[in-house]
Structure 1
Amino acid sequence: MAVSANRLELLQIADAVAREKNIDRMVVIEAMQDAMEKAAKGRYGAETEIKVEINPRSGETRMWRLLEIVEDVEEPSRQVNLKLAQVKNPTAKVGDFLTEPLPPMEFGRIAAQSAKQVIVQKVRDAERDKMFEEYTGRVGEIVNGSVKRVEYGNVIVDLGRGEAIIRRDELIPREMFRYGDRVRAYIYDVRREQRGPQIFLSRTHPQFMAKLFMQEVPEIYDGVITIRSIARDPGSRAKIAVTSNDSSIDPVGACVGMRGSRVQAVVAELQGEKIDIIPWTDGIADLVVSALQPADVAKVVLDEQAERIEVVVPDEQLSLAIGRRGQNVRLASQLIGWDIDILTEQEESERRQKEFTERSTLFMQALDVDEMVAQLLASEGFSSVEELAYIEPGEIASIEGFDEETAGEIQARAAEYLAEIDRKFDEERTALGVSDDLYEIEGLNAAMLVALGKEDIKSVEDFAGCAADDLVGWTERKDGETKRFDGTFKDFPVSREEAEDMIMQARIKAGWISQDDLPAADEGEEGYAEEEAV
């Protein structure tokens, strides 16, 4: 009867631990088996191979010693001779294991303590694995918990089944928590570390706001309204762009709610953070006008290649458009993903006047014409001597006061000026040691070859080894800010597609690829460019 009671007690303990720690019952039983094996090794010798099995139904414990069958015995405690093994088991062969039943053993105090440590460690590891698997699948969710303690500004949150941490920089500024406070946060990362899985929470993450709106606005939860972009200055101000998949539903009105009830619930959770809700449009110009509200925008100029937007506002609207400490324009830039430059109408007028004066001066010097002719050319929109040299003569002759003879003379002087500049650049190119073969690549001129020579790109092979980013530059966006890296051709109006075409010409000329391979090579170059952009 005593044996039955012990068996029953063993299973009851396994069931209780499994329920308490919310882990599989078999994990606890396996931990008990490991503990008994360790205790038995303490009695029979650490070098002895022992196997323990606990029947999960009856609780019966069986113990064996395992002996490896070998030809020549070197370790008597772990090995047995083949002939001796075949006496006990005629089918035994080298490499098999012979099992010898061991009698039940009583656990002493030290053995019991050691077994307890093994079980506790195994159960703790299983508990950690269970928690890691559970919370890894919950990254991107909002969780509720209570503050367990605050350490050096970091808040440790009790989630009931585990602990999570909100680091100081993931808390809303001026936000204070004390022991026992309820807290709601966003799971943005779960990592497996030596001390167990670490769950990282955030209250400043843009997706925290998105999830809060999803909880408050049924249309977002149902997918009728989509949040396209969010920019936050935690605790101060945020901008959120939304769009509706149903033309009968106003996305902004749905997010605001009756008398602002929905948005106010989010604002209250975010410690009074002001939220601007704007409708998302695919037109960047319209989007930037909405994003800079409440400021009025007079003019928008886009530079798609550099992903920059120049916005002109009335003089009295400048401070409103920029916002306190640049907050309004910074959030608008993060929301759209483009850099935004703010100019007043007066600044734009002064800049245009300066550009007009510079172009007029250039034409006077390059074409040897008087000021009135130079200003006429500049006012007609001509911005460079190259443009005058290669445009149709009729375009110049159509200017009031000009005729065909005047147009021809202007174009001749422009061509002569450009030829002289090319001659000077060619002399510098020769001095730098840049190969003449590069002239055969369509699109390259003497000035570009000088720029390449200064970057130590002096042959067709050197140029063939370039990437498009090396020539036209690239942009990287980090922490909401875009950083521009200039390329070799930063001073020339060369697009990425033109740069890729030049590189392909160089690779064909260098013999790296053939003309037949060009379509496949184009695809590879595009993929490479995309990979670098990412």
Structure 2
Amino acid sequence: MSASIGQSIDAVCKEKGIDRDVVIEAVKEAVRAAARKQFKSGEEIQVEWAPETGLEIFASKVVVEEITNPGRELSLDEAKELAGDEVEIGDELQLPLPVEDMGRIAAQTAKQILFQKVRDAERANIYEQYIDKVGDLVNGYIKRFERGDLIVDLGTVEAVLPRNQQSRGEQWNQGERVRVAIEDVSKESKGPQVVVSRTSPELIKRLFEMEVPEIYDGTVVIKSAVREPGERAKIAVASIERDVDPVGACVGMKGSRVQAIIRELRGEKIDIIEWSDEPSVFA
């Protein structure tokens, strides 16, 4: 039995990318809850796991002179019978409980709790992996369609591209590659965990970072970006070096750089202007 449980733990770790210690703690907590439901004696249940011995369930009891709580206490005479004459008042004993006495209902309870704990651990893992990537550009492919939303496979998680984050006029096919910006990452147990966008101004900023070395190395800075997704975008750029033309750097030779971004945005027109502190420039 211990071998099969160990194999299951290894499989979950590999499939979900969860730390082994986290999975083991989830197993122990699930069995602990199921044991409480099974034995119903008010005992303090402890669960241990080792590859050699498998799961072991114990009831923790304190040795007392006079028992007032049978679920948590043990008389000195009983304690000596179980653990030897060295036992003293105040000692806490770990008394083994029979794992084989766990019934079908308790086993089902353990399974449900374990499933939820693994899901929580998986979500926490994904949250830690993606929370610092909000605003970043990522590659994925269209996995399926759900009521107007697109499910995008990012490799380690299925992200949601909601209808309101899709650019007007864009049509996608299942299996098609797509570049998206990470819009939101949630730790909550309900709703999509990772939301991505094709309409965010961050998307166009990241695309320019990819295509324009001067933006990537910080010589040219995008000071502002606005979009009417699917129609038109406008970015304002500035250079920290006098001899670098920020607009020319973004346009590229014969428009090669900006055209690559227009193709990625499927024809969305892009205006590139030099940044100014005068609001009238952006009217």
TM-score range, shorter chain: 0.7 to 0.9
Give TM-score, length-normalised by structure 1: 0.48
Secondary structure, aligned partner of 1:105: helix
Other-structure match for 1:475: none
Partner of 1:64: 58
The CA distance in 2 between the partners of 1:263 and 1:37, in whole Å, is 60
What is the Cα deviation at residue 37 of structure 1?
2.5
Match of residue 14 from structure 2: 19
TM-score (norm 2): 0.86
Structure 1: how far apart are the matches of 2:98 and 2:160? 50
- The share of aligned pairs that are identical, in percent, is 47
2:203 aligned partner: 208
Matched, 1:33 2:20: no
Q: Find the counterpart in structure 2 of residue 223 from structure 1.
A: 218
SS of 1:65's equivalent in the other structure is strand
- What residue number does 2:135 align with? 140
Does residue 161 of the first structure (1) align with residue 156 of the second (2)?
yes
Matches within 5 A, 1:214-363: 214-282=209-277, 284=278, 288=280, 291=281, 332-333=282-283
Residues 88-487 of structure 1 aligned to structure 2 (within 5 Å): 89-90=87-88, 92-93=89-90, 97-105=92-100, 107-195=102-190, 198-282=193-277, 284=278, 288=280, 291=281, 332-333=282-283
Confirm or deny: 8 A CA contact 1:128 1:197 kept in the other structure.
Answer: no
Deviations 1:177-231 (A, max 9, x none): 3433322211122222232662222211111110110011111111111111112
CA shift, 1:105, in A, is: 2.5
Unaligned runs of 5+ in 1: 1-5, 292-331, 334-534
Report if the CA contact (8 A) 2:214-2:220 is conserved. yes
Aligned pair count? Answer: 279
Q: Is the 8 A contact 1:242 1:278 kept in 2?
A: yes
Flag the structure with higher helix content: 1
Alpha carbons of structure 1 residues 38 and 191: separation in structure 2 relative to 1, 3 Å? closer
Kindly indicate whether the alpha-carbon contact (under 8 Å) linking 1:42 and 1:111 is maintained by their aligned counterparts in 2.
Answer: yes
**One of 34, 54, 70 as aligned partner of 1:76:** 70
- The residue that corresponds to 1:519 in the other structure is none
Determine if contact 2:159/2:192 at 8 Å carries over to the other structure.
no
Q: If each structure's strand is expressed as a fraction of its own residues, which one has the higher value?
A: 2
Equivalents in 2 of 1:269, 1:83: separation in Å?
A: 80
Instruction: Output the CA distance in 2 between the equivalents of 1:75 and 1:133.
Output: 44
After superposition, give the CA deviation of every residue in 1:378-425 in whole Å (9 maximum; x if it has no partner).
xxxxxxxxxxxxxxxxxxxxxxxxxxxxxxxxxxxxxxxxxxxxxxxx
Higher-Rg member (1/2): 1
Structure 2: how far apart are the matches of 1:10 and 1:36? 12
Indicate conservation of the 8 Å contact 2:167/2:229, yes or no: yes
User: RMSD of aligned C-alpha atoms?
Assistant: 2.7
Aligned to 1:492: none
Question: What amino acid is the match of 1:208?
Answer: L
Q: What CA distance in whole angstroms lies between the structure 1 residues aligned with 2:196 and 2:65?
A: 60
Distance 1:211 1:52, change over 3 A: same
| 1:46 shift after superposition | 5.6
Cα distance in 2 between the residues matched to 1:251 and 1:138: 27
Quick one: distance in 2 between partners of 1:36 and 1:231? 54
- Tell me, in whole angstroms, the C-alpha distance in 1 between the residues paired with 2:239 and 2:53: 62
How far residue 39 of structure 1 moved from its aligned partner, in angstroms, is: 4.0
Consecutive unaligned residues of structure 2, counting only runs of 5 or more, are none
Deviation at 1:88, TM superposition (A): 5.9
- Letter in structure 1 aligned against 2:3: L
Q: CA–CA distance in 1 between the matches of 2:275 and 2:188?
A: 41
- SS of 1:255's equivalent in the other structure is helix
CA contact (8 A) 1:71 1:81 kept: yes
Instruction: Give distance in 2, aligned partners of 1:213 and 1:72.
Output: 77
Task: Tell me by how many angstroms 1:110 deviates.
Answer: 4.0
Higher relative contact order, chain-length normalized (CA < 8 Å, sep 6+): 2
Name the stretch that deviates more: 247-256 or 152-161: 152-161
CA distance in 2, matches of 1:207, 1:113: 46
In the TM superposition, what are the counterparts of 1:503-518 in structure 2 within 5 Å? none
